[in-house]
Structures are given as C-alpha cells and as structure tokens.
Amino acid sequence: MGREIAHKSKRLVVSGYYGFDNSGDEAVLQSILFALKEQGEAAGISIEPVVLSANPERTREMYGVEACHRMKVPDLFRAIKSSDGLISGGGSLLQDATSSRTIPYYLLVLKLAQWMRKPTFIYSQGIGPVNNPRFFSWIRSTFKKCAMITVRDQESADLIGRMGVPASSVSVVPDPVMGLPLRGEAASGKAGAADASGETGRVPVVGVSVRFWNADRSELGALAEALRAVMDSRRIEVRLLPFHLPSDEEASAYVAERLSPAGEGGDVRIVRGVTHPQDMLAEVSACDVLVGMRLHSLIYAASQFVPMVGVSYDPKIDQFLARLGMKAAASTQSFDAAAVAAEIGRLLDGRREWADGKKAAIDRLKKEAQLPAQQIMQFYR
C-alpha cells in the first residue's frame, strides 16, 4: 500500500481519418492524444502514439508524435508489428455513405492488428449508415475480437447490436472532442459557463460552420436569408468558420456572397487557413452564438458553453443535440429561414441562461469523454 505505480511504456497505433485537413477529425485525434496522455500518467503508463495519417509529416509537426502513411502497406505493417495495440478511433469511420471502400479499409487495419495478436480498441466511433448488408458480418467478426468497444451514441450501439455484436461488450460514451481543452487549459479542466454577450459596445459574433450538401445549394441560400434577417434587425458580425479545407471555404464564400454585395468584408468575415483544432476551438469560443452544419462545430460550441443552432444533414447532428436536450433548428431538407433567424436572436439575447441551463449536461459529457482512455489504461495495468 502507498507504493507508486510502476512506470510502463506502451506504443499504440491510432487509426482514423487523419491528415486530410478536416478540423473535426483533427480535433478527434488531438482529443484522443490528450486523453491517452492524461490517463496514462494517472495510471503510471507512458503512451507512445503512432498515428496513421494521409500526411505524416504534417501530423508529426502538429502533434509532436510519430506518424506513418495510412496507405503505404510496408509502413503500416511495421507500425502495427512494433506496437502494443491499435486504436480505431473517433469520427464516422465505419459508414458506406461516402464510399464503399471506407469500411473495408478500417476493418482491414483492425484485422491486420488482430492477425498480429495485438489488442484492438474501438474508440468512441459513430457507426453508420451501413447500407450494404454484406458489411454486417465483417464488422461483427472484427468487433468480437476487440478488447474494447465504445461508440459515441446509442444509435451506433443499436446498429452494431442488430449486426450481432453483444450489447454487454459495448459502451456508449461522448465524442472525444468534448474533452478538448483550449490552449493552456488542462485537458480535464472544466471551462466555466461563458459570460453573456457582453462588453459595452462590442458587436456580437455569430459563428457559422457550413458545408456543401444539396446540389442546388438551397440550404445555404436559406441560411444566408436567415443571417441577413438577423443582420437587418440588429448589429452582428457573421464569422464563417470553415472546418474542412478547402471545400468549406468555398461553401463559406457562397454564403458570404449572399450576405453582402462585396461578399467577405465589413460585418461578414471568413476565417481562413485554420487547421489546428485548438486554434479553431479558440475561434468558436470567441462567438456569442454558433450556427453549425458540421458536427464538430457544435461539439466545440458545447464544450465552450456557446449557444448553438444546429442545421442537420445527417442523423449524427440530431443524435448529438439530443444529448443536450436539443433539436436541430433546420435541416438540409426543411429549412425555415424566419424560424432560424428567430432562434439566433433568442440565443443572442439569452446566452447566459442557455449556458447555465446546459452546464450540468456539458460537464457530464466532458468527464465521460475520458472513459475510453481510462478503459485502455485499465487493460494495460
């Protein structure tokens, strides 16, 4: 009793959608790295991450960790062989909505690790949609050999349950980005509820995260109409925050052009070139309200107690908002510009009340975001 925990070192490969200049997925990686370091230190285990990345040089530069190319088989093989385990983590990795090759790739990485008898961990993944039923047996057989399965919402747990993965082996946890701190904050620190939009004479900032979705851009046109209505009723700055470069910058410019004859400039600004997740988190924290299509823009806002207006293009948006007792204000299929404008105005006037009302739920999600890293450390102790 009373002895210090013996210090161990574990080399863990981290697989995900990293190195693609997607702020949300980079935030997932940063959050996982922070959680592994913090929980490893608490358990007396030094974690040596090796990240599978589309841009290993940039990943090494951004996070100060070892990285190798996710598509170079010899590098992938060597990284896993020299490791103590593999984390498949964060984001919507196992889905076939964007490509039929996505699920086979991530399962192949997991199966390669299992073939080498390395422990594998599913870290707070969002599963689905999985439209091709042939993938069901592939996911089931791979997951049944994992040492840990954590998913970020009940819908993901239900889906893999229907595939035949036992419910007793699955834990539902928050998205890891709920645990991402601002620079200078401890990863486990709790930010206090944000002050109401505040200082005398300060122009309130409405942050906006958009992406292209509908072919006719009708959702972006409707959003621009809503923002224009707010700008006509009160002084605000619209600050467009592109999360996935370069496509979100183009979507942001589309909205900006519909807000001002000159597009960007004056009370409409596009924040360009932000790739580090903590830099984007700081941008979101400076907003008074956040209107978001990107899931992680909403998660950033929640973590900083910034009131949010969700625009749903995917069930994952609705699933996250539901955890805060909220619903999307609009969707890409049904967008009432007047209703969205009214919601933005309501939140601008009641930021403190929103933050106070959501504080308990947000604090709980922040704490629970550490659970997968804690479970991995318990495995190695």
**The predicted structure's pLDDT at residue 262:** 64
Q: Angle 134-143/102-115 helices, nearest 10 degrees?
A: 30
pTM of the predicted structure, to 2 decimals: 0.89
What value, to the nearest 5°, has the Cα angle with vertex 118 and ends 115 and 124?
Answer: 110
- Give the pLDDT score at 208: 98
Positive or negative: CA dihedral 300, 199, 233, 242: negative
Predicted pLDDT of residue 301: 98
Q: What domains sit in the chain, N to C, each tagged with a CATH number?
A: 8-180 (3.40.50.11930), 205-365 (3.40.50.2000)
Q: Is 37 left (phi over 0), alpha (psi -120 to 50) or beta?
A: alpha
Q: Averaging pLDDT over each range in 23-27, 66-70, 89-93, which range is the top one?
A: 66-70
Q: pLDDT-derived band of residue 1, with 50, 70 and 90 as boundaries? A: very low
Token pair, residue 338, equals 């007047």
Question: What are the residues whose beta carbons fall under 8 Å from the beta carbon of 110, sequence distance 6 or more?
Answer: 15, 86, 88, 120, 142, 146
Using alpha carbons only, what angle is made at residue 217 by residues 214 and 219, rounded to the nearest 5 degrees? Answer: 80
Q: How far is 103 from 154, CA to CA, in rounded Å?
A: 20
- Which DSSP category does 179 fall into? G
Average pLDDT over residues 8-37: 95
Nearest to 355 by CA among 186, 152, 189, 197: 197
Q: What does the pLDDT read at residue 91?
A: 85
pLDDT digits (tens, 9 = 90+) for 248-268: 999 999 999 999 876 677 799
Distance in angstroms (rounded) separating the CA atoms of residues 53 and 109: 13
Average pLDDT over residues 298-325: 96
163 pLDDT band, cuts 50/70/90, is very high
Average pLDDT, the chain: 93
User: What percent of the chain is modeled with pLDDT above 70?
Assistant: 93
pLDDT tens track for 100-150: 999 999 999 999 999 999 999 999 999 999 999 999 999 999 999 999 999
| Residue written as token pair 């009793």 | 1
- Comparing CA positions, the residue from 176, 192, 134 lying closest to residue 25 is 176
pLDDT digits over 170-209, tens only? 999 999 999 999 988 755 444 444 454 455 578 999 999 9
